[in-house]
Amino acid sequence: MINSGKDEDIGKLYPDMKPLIEDEELPAEEPDHPGWLPIGEILKVSHPVFENSRFLIGYHHSSNVYVLSGDYLTLIDPGNDYTIFGELEKLGYNLLDIKKIVLTHGHRDHCMGVFEILRYPPVMENKSLEIVMHAGGPEEFKKLVTEAGFPPTELKGGETINLSGFDWEVIHTPGHTIDGICLYHGPTETLISGDSVLPHAMSDADKTAGGGLDYYLYGLKQLLKKKVAHLLPGHGVPVAVTGRRTIEETYEGVMMKVIEVSAEDKITWMDGAKKLADKGLLEEVAYCCDKELALRPDNNEAMQLKAFVLNDMGRCGEAIELLDRILELRPGDAYALTAKGQALLGMAKYAESLPYFDEVLSNNPFMKEAQVFKGMALYFLGRHDEALAIDAFKSEFLARFKDQIEKKPGPGADSSGREV
């Protein structure tokens, strides 16, 4: 079972291949290539989708290539190596068996093999090959394949596409490039991840291809919503069973790039959460708080910070569950009481929120946050005069509600607000 990309694991799978060590010079000659390997055997997955499907590990200037076999052949990333198609014929396939090519993104090491296939005369004559890619892919590439008579099928993400007789979900994962997609097969919990997720490595955000760290975080969060056991990456060996952890490692690595820290800095989860909070990355703050709470379940600081960001994200019910835990451990905690009142306010339970603000203000009459939230609750309850009698609320929110207040009909006005 392949569960990592470490040197010893690669050595076991490919005894003729010596993995490169960082900063080591490239060998003068490439080692013998292991050829097409059965995906089902690598992942230890018995399912028709992988029964005859194959994996070809890429060299330094070519991506991994995946062949899904079923009603026909589908190539996922044809790489940048013209020799692979001759190797495919050794398995008994004809290039005309390839009916679809799916590109995980438009980098040369993943897509240039398309043109090697198009150089094959029967493919050009038959015109039965479909090229599938994200709509944000390189315009020049799309232009060239269209001129060759193969206009690409353009995806946006969220589609379910049939590949070789099996359904795969398309997930848009921008970040490394703007056009990155992953393919997810739910029945086997398998993700073909392109360069969005790599084992024990992380792709850079290629700004020249529309990449960015903020997009990267977005894309990875889409993947974390899926139940992923197995990972078929764009480079390196497949990952069996622990695919989700590989996605998490990439997510954590992008967060570290965002806050400009490295593994050598050895910051704590809470330090990371605070730095991410300064950048307004609330979901990432909650993630780091969860990691801290997994280590120290009663960490009050982590519980409070997570509750605060859950409130800000509108996940008020979840915030209340945490705040109740805090109040069990620290009855009368002013910040927890205020936050619980805020959560009830966010759930439109205005009357229920007032006792929490009142309890805080009975002991801390000048706590501005509690004053403001109490004013909001009173205002939404229609008790406008009481709300505006709270100076903190009046100064903080009067301008925001000014239009509504001015439109409020007076005692001598009709329903349109005009005096009668």
Radius of gyration for the alpha carbons in the chain, expressed in angstroms and rounded: 28
Contacts of 395 (CB under 8 A, 6+ apart): none
Task: Burial-class residue 183 by CB neighbours within 10 Å (0-12, 13-18, 19+).
Answer: buried
CB-side neighbour CA atoms (13 Å) of 6: 5
Contacts of 59 (CB under 8 A, 6+ apart): 30, 33, 81
Q: What are the φ/ψ torsions at residue 27 (nearest 5 degrees)?
A: -65, 155
- Bridge-partner residues for 181, per DSSP? 172
Q: What are the φ/ψ torsions at residue 85 (nearest 5 degrees)?
A: -75, -30
- Euclidean distance between CA atoms 171 and 183, whole angstroms: 6
pLDDT of res. 31: 57
> Could you state, in chain order, the average pLDDT of each consecutive group of 10 residues for the chain (420 residues)?
35 36 43 81 95 89 93 94 76 89 96 92 93 97 97 98 98 97 98 96 93 97 98 96 97 96 92 97 98 95 97 97 96 96 97 97 95 95 94 79 53 41
Residue that is written with structure tokens 């206009």 in the block: 151
| Residue 278 identity (one-letter amino acid) | D
Residue that is written with structure tokens 């069973």 in the block: 241
On whether the CB atoms of residues 288 and 320 are closer than 8 A, the answer is no
Helix (DSSP H) and strand (DSSP E) numbers for the chain: 18, 12
Copy the structure tokens of residue 72: 């026909």
* DSSP one-letter string for 304-335: HHHHHHHHHTT-HHHHHHHHHHHHHHSTT-HH
- Euclidean distance between CA atoms 181 and 200, whole angstroms: 20
pLDDT of res. 188: 98
Copy the structure tokens of residue 16: 């003729």
Return the SS3 of 359. helix
Copy the structure tokens of residue 363: 């002991």
Q: What are the φ/ψ torsions at residue 242 (nearest 5 degrees)?
A: -100, 30
- Euclidean distance between CA atoms 351 and 212, whole angstroms: 44
Among candidates 150, 160, 169, which has minimal Cα distance to 78? 150
In the chain the first and final C-alpha atoms are separated, in Å, by: 83
Copy the structure tokens of residue 394: 């009046």
- Euclidean distance between CA atoms 339 and 89, whole angstroms: 65
pLDDT of res. 86: 76
Among candidates 255, 229, 233, 234, which has minimal Cα distance to 244? 229
On whether the CB atoms of residues 67 and 53 are closer than 8 A, the answer is yes
Return the SS3 of 404. helix
Could you give the angle at which helices 300-312 and 316-329 cross, rounded to 10 degrees?
160
- Euclidean distance between CA atoms 420 and 416, whole angstroms: 10
CB atoms within 10 A of CB 94: 11
Copy the structure tokens of residue 46: 């018995």
pLDDT of res. 92: 82
Beta strands at 73-76 and 98-102: parallel, antiparallel or unpaired: parallel
Contacts of 217 (CB under 8 A, 6+ apart): 175, 251, 254, 255, 258, 281, 284
CB atoms within 10 A of CB 1: 11
pLDDT of res. 84: 72
